[in-house]
A and B are shown apart, each in its own frame.
Chain A
Amino acid sequence: MDWGFITVTLLDGLARGLYYFLVSAGLTLIFSMMGVLNFAHASFFMLGGYFAYIIAQEWGLSFWIALPVVPLIIGALGMVVERYGLRHVHKFGHVAELIFTFGLAFLIQEFVKLVFGSDTKPYVKPELLTGSLFTIGDQSFGSYRAFMILVSISIFIGLYLLLTRTRVGIIIQAALTHPNTVSNLGHNVPLIFMSVFGVGTALAALAGIIALPTDALQPGAAARLGPIIFVIIVVGGLGSLNGALVASMIIGILTTIFDASQLSVINVMEAVTNMLGIEWSLLERPTYELRRLMVGDLIMMSTKQVGALFPYLLMVLILIFRPQGLLGKRES
């Protein structure tokens, strides 16, 4: 393994982690404020991709127009959902809210199928960013991925400044923990909730716009991302923006490393026995014969399989040893 490979893999992981963060940031804020786990959150991510595809490619306008416009549209849509859906359901308790968002996720998925069809849309990167930024050894790093990193980092900085340095941010932070007090002070708490919901969905949409050209734009996109996002906000600590960032980075980078590494039990066995100078006939056999052995599944087990399990394993461990999450504050 060479340094070029390691560098680009880490950068790939960084890009992945940062777009996970864009989606989970909204989800974790919405949760801490309203106590609602929004199952439809990943659906807004997918809608972002579809809307951008329509604007940039079907209508022939530019990606650069879709990039600012689509989050505004989806953010407005999110506010409508909060104002006329969630707020109405709120008085029936958390279960009703949960079921509402669950139903909404299905609704959006079926809507997408009905309007756009179930095939994979040829949503591609903008022309300007198709090339590679730099090449180390024989591995090149695409300029589009650098763009993804740049956008995500600027959003994080902007969000951080907004929440810690502005009056609005201070009110939001206060509303997170003491909504009644904030309301008694004369602030319009429902408006704050609606705005946070809107910003959260807009961020998810932004993530969809920039991430889906490297993935597959199809009605299954939300269902694929959804579980990972939940894992991230649990691991990071529900309601903690910094926690979501840390967890996104951990999961994004480590799953990328798992995907890129080619370690398997049999490889390790081979390396160890080679070092010890032992010749072992099992290792000479072709892979397909090894798979058929009784312990085949075990000795062929590779980091690829572990990589898919890793986020969930991490979540279970966190729930056991640090239930409030890495940077979460709440005990409950």
Chain B
Amino acid sequence: MKKILMAAAAAVFAVSGAASAETTVKLAFIDALSGPFALTGERGLQNFKFAADYFVNNQGGIDVGGENVKFEIVGYDGAEGFPSPKKSTLQAEKALGAGATYILQGNSSGVATAMSDFVAKHNRRNSDNPVVFINYAAVVPALTNELCNFWHFRFDAHADIKMEALTDVIAANESVKTVYLIGQDYSFGQAVAAGAERMLAAKRPDIEIVGNELHPIGQVQDFTPYARNVKASGADALITGNWGGDMVGLGKAVLEADLGIPVYTYYAAADGITGLFGEAGVGIISQVTEGWGPNPTEEFQAYHAAYKAELPDSDINQPRIINAVGMLAQAMQDAGSTNPKDVAYALENMEYESMLGTKVFMRGDDHQAFQNVYIMTHTNEGLPTNSEGAPLDFDNSGYGPLATSTVEMASMGIETTCEMERP
């Protein structure tokens, strides 16, 4: 009798084993993979692929409602020279045709705004085959305010959240009396400048903004004239949202001009920038960002070591990608479904314990993630290490970001003008 039962049980298991089909969820990564901003895109793709392997594929897949699910990440080039909204949405159509149900995009808020719009329209017309837009980097505040939509989720802190943190630090520094702003002339650069003007006026009305310049994105050959203007203005601090080649050029010019003032940035790290600044940037360059904080968790230390073992020349330059993939996998398991609509509902108001040592809260009202934000300073001393004992540096240069201030769950209660329409 016992034998028969066991045989029956074995048979049942065998059947259910055969029934548990393997599903591959296709995620389309659409960002600049050519042109002057290609590096930022390529690094993003590497980070997504590594995170997908770590959370899902190397675990033998995840169990979603009895199905074994694996992630496949496919890269699409969204640049025509520069990151292009038109090309990116065309690529998105191509990706959807190839069976993608999630879109991963982040470089350039201009592209992200077009992508969010594209996804909303697509889902209205194809309510049976919706797609979710995972925005891992585009930080123009409008995307989770007046331009918000249900299918868009932002995993990075937006420009105003970062500017709140940055202006807190600047406001606390009594020696700063004048500030100079330089940015790229498009929605994101304008948002950074606007945020800085507004928040400094509120927190430190005595601070004077002595320069507020926007330059065409990716077209300035030499930033020396800009650095000369900063010098001539006698500013006590420089704030810039520049990224990619525009940050490299500006950084070089600023360090060459030997301004001797703090330079507060959004993106002056990794992708060759840290290695380039080296000793000259110490005590000058700092960055407001999400990340691993001053005391990284053991899990992250091991993750970092595994990443460097697989991709020694690459860096975890956008740590939020870890959260985006981890939370997506978690949401699928919670929902018991890989259907983008079910997953979107599961992502709403999710609280996630990240290996980065922060809780991540995906607010349902506007689909904005809230998390710890740090002011990180470029240095080669006192950097935390990974589980192999190697410093958490960038570009294998020995220099890297060290968290000097922490804002826990930054701007958690910040208001939103989003009026979410749910399907």
Contacts and interface: CB of A to CB of B under 8 A. Distances in A.
Contacts of B54: none
A5 B218 contact: no
B39 A286 contact: no
Contact of B232 (A5, A228, A255): A5
A12 B224 contact: yes
A270 interface: no
Given A215-B221, A288-B194, A308-B216, A260 B228 contact: yes
A224 B225 contact: no
Interface string B4-43: 0000000000000000000000000000000111110010
A131 B212 CA distance: 29
Contact of B39 (A120, A124, A224, A305): A120
B417 interface: no
B39 A12 contact: no
Contacts of B190: 288, 291
Contacts of B197: 286-288
Contacts of A139: 228, 231-232
Bin the interface of chain A by size: 35 or more
Nearest to B253: A214
Interface string A230-273: 00000000000000000000000001100110100000000000
Contacts of A260: 225-226, 228-229
Contacts of A223: 35-36, 81
Interface string A120-134: 111010000000000
Interface string B190-202: 1001100110010
B248 A216 contact: yes
Contact of A259 (B185, B226, B273): B226
Interface in B200-239: 201, 211-216, 218-222, 224-226, 228-229, 231-232, 234
Contacts of A228: 221
Given A142-B256, A288-B194, A119 B272 contact: yes
Contacts of B231: 138-139
Determine which residue in A8, A120, A224 has the highest number of CB atoms from chain B within 10 A of its CB, and name it: A120
Contacts of B228: 5, 8-9, 12, 139, 260
A228 to B, nearest CB: 8
B21 to A, nearest CB: 39
A223 B36 CA distance: 8
Contacts of B215: 259, 304, 308
A118 interface: yes
Given A220-B36, A308-B216, A118 B42 contact: yes
B37 to A, nearest CB: 8
A153 interface: no
A19 to B, nearest CB: 10
Contacts of B272: 119-122, 218
B271 interface: yes
Determine which residue in B222, B226, B252 has the highest number of CB atoms from chain A within 10 A of its CB, and name it: B222
B245 A9 contact: no
B276 A214 contact: no
Interface string A211-228: 000111011100111001
B222 A120 contact: no
B313 interface: yes
A262 B232 CA distance: 12
Contacts of A262: 211, 213, 229
B249 interface: yes
B329 to A, nearest CB: 29
A73 to B, nearest CB: 24
A119 B35 contact: no
Contacts of A121: 272
Contacts of B194: 287-288, 291
A16 B225 CA distance: 12
A103 interface: no
Interface in A90-122: 113, 117-122
B313 A304 contact: no
A118 B39 contact: yes
B398 interface: no
A119 B271 contact: yes
Contact of B313 (A117, A216, A218, A225): A117
A302 interface: yes
Determine which residue in B218, B221, B232 has the highest number of CB atoms from chain A within 10 A of its CB, and name it: B221
A304 B219 CA distance: 10
Nearest to A220: B36
Given A216-B252, A223-B36, A120 B221 contact: no
Contacts of A218: 36, 39, 245, 248, 272
A120 B213 contact: no
Given A139-B228, A215-B222, A304 B252 contact: no
B357 interface: no
B393 interface: no
A180 B276 CA distance: 52
B339 to A, nearest CB: 36
Contacts of A138: 231-232, 234
A256 B228 CA distance: 11
Contacts of A16: 221-222
A227 to B, nearest CB: 10
B395 interface: yes
Interface in A125-152: 138-140, 142
A256 B224 CA distance: 9
Given A224-B36, A287-B197, A304-B216, A12 B225 contact: yes
A271 B235 CA distance: 22
B278 interface: yes
Contacts of A308: 215-216, 219-220
B79 to A, nearest CB: 10
Contact of B248 (A9, A120, A288, A291): A120
B275 interface: yes
7 contacts: A122-B276, A124-B276, A220-B38, A259-B225, A262-B213, A288-B193, A305-B216
9 nearest A-B residue pairs (beta carbon): A288-B194, A220-B36, A120-B272, A260-B225, A119-B272, A259-B225, A118-B39, A122-B276, A308-B216
Given A223-B35, A304-B214, 20 more contacts: A12-B224, A16-B221, A118-B42, A120-B273, A120-B276, A122-B275, A122-B278, A124-B276, A138-B231, A138-B234, A142-B256, A215-B222, A216-B248, A218-B272, A224-B221, A225-B221, A287-B194, A287-B212, A291-B190, A291-B194
